[in-house]
Structure formats: C-alpha cells, structure tokens
Homo-oligomer: A and B are copies of this chain.
C-alpha cells in the first residue's frame, strides 16, 4: 500500500534552458551525463535540472539547481512551461540513470521548465563531480538526442524566447556583453527570430528603446572601420503595456 503510493506519487523536477550568444550563434548550456554500470556505459547530454527539495519553492529550486550544476549565481530564471507526459522518463537509459543518481525508485517526474538568457562569458564551472557543462549551438539540437524529453523542452523554451523578444526586444541585452555594436545586436535579433532586418530600420527601432545608449567609444582591433559601441542601462522594467483604442 505505502509502496504503491510511492510509485503513484510523481516527483517534481525543474529543468533549466540557459541560452548564450557567442557573436555568431545562439548557444544552449547542456550537461554531459554519464553512466558506468554493469549493463551499459553511455554518455549523452541533458539540460541542467534535478528533483526539487521538500521545502522549496519552484523558483528557488531552479536557482539552486542551476548553481549546483554550473556554478552560475544571480541568474534570472523565468518559468515558461511544465511537462508531464507520463512516458517522459520511461526510456531505459533514463530510468537507470535516475535510479543510480537519485537512489530512489522513481515512477514518473513532472518537470517545470525555466529559461534564462545570460552573457556567455559568465564563469561556468564546466567540470564538477559527475557533470561537465558546455555550450552547444542551438542549431545543432536538431541532430543531438538529449536525455528524457529535453529536446522538446528546449524547443518550447526557444519558442517562448522568440515570443518574448518580439514583445520586448530589450531582453536580448542579457545575452550581449556590456558594450556591444549595433551589428552584434542585429545579428542576435535575426538569429533568434529567423529574420533578416534592414540595417537602417533596425537601428531606428532599437534606438527608441529607453536605456539603450550610444557610447563615445568604438570597438578596437577590427580590420575595417571601427563600429560604435552601445550599452544598455536598464531603466526599471516598464509596467504592463496596455492596449488602448
């Protein structure tokens, strides 16, 4: 009876989809997962994520777990969707890995998805005890088979980010260094939204954003005309824009 409850009762985890931008490609932070076992040795990739603690809020769990797996601190994580397909943990590798690492018999896991946009030069602990974290091209996700349903989760996260960028393009500044050029910003925008922006129109549109300021400074060491740098002093996030008619 009690045993029955244990398997009945789902566990809850969080998974963090962390995006970065290296100037060329949109990147996603993945963790290498390895299992050395009587049955099998394998190594593949997954999103940073784990089971939540007993007495822990979802947001706090996401922050804690991302920190434990990557060393990242003070990351603004935003919840975007939960995933609860009962078969999402039924792959045999996933089952074995879960039992080894959690030491629990786990019937099913409902996971809460979080996204973050971070500067790619943030210090990440790439190697910890059992895990190594690395940046991968978001593009390449189509060819990588991630653990669990993490391909699906990453895909939903990307769609979520796209929608957010359309509404509030300034969130892209989180992915860029403190000082950046208009071209970098435009490349990023176009990569995320899969668009091709016109250089002049893009400039006009971006300069309307409160807090985006041109600096009296240009990029160094470029083999052509040095582009101007910009920075974003975040004005308080504006309140819910109301449509009026």
**A interface residue numbers (CB < 8 A to B):** 2-3, 5-12, 52, 54-58, 61, 79, 81-86, 104, 107-108, 110, 112, 159, 162, 166, 193-195, 197-198, 201-202, 205, 240, 242-245
* A-B interface, 3 closest residue pairs, ranked by CB to CB distance from nearest: A58-B84, A197-B245, A82-B82
- Assembled-state Cα–Cα distance A32/B12 (Å): 29
CB neighbours of A2 from chain B (8 A) = 2-3, 6
Given A84-B12, A195-B244, are A54 and B107 neighbors across the interface (CB < 8 Å)? yes
- Assembled-state Cα–Cα distance A194/B162 (Å): 27
Sampled A-B contacts (14; CB under 8 Å)? A2-B3, A6-B9, A9-B10, A10-B11, A10-B52, A12-B110, A52-B84, A52-B110, A57-B86, A79-B81, A82-B82, A195-B243, A197-B245, A201-B245
CB neighbours of A8 from chain B (8 A) = 54
CB neighbours of A162 from chain B (8 A) = 240
CB–CB A5/B6 < 8 A: yes
Given A55-B86, A86-B55, are A110 and B110 neighbors across the interface (CB < 8 Å)? yes
Given A6-B9, A9-B6, A12-B10, are A54 and B245 neighbors across the interface (CB < 8 Å)? no
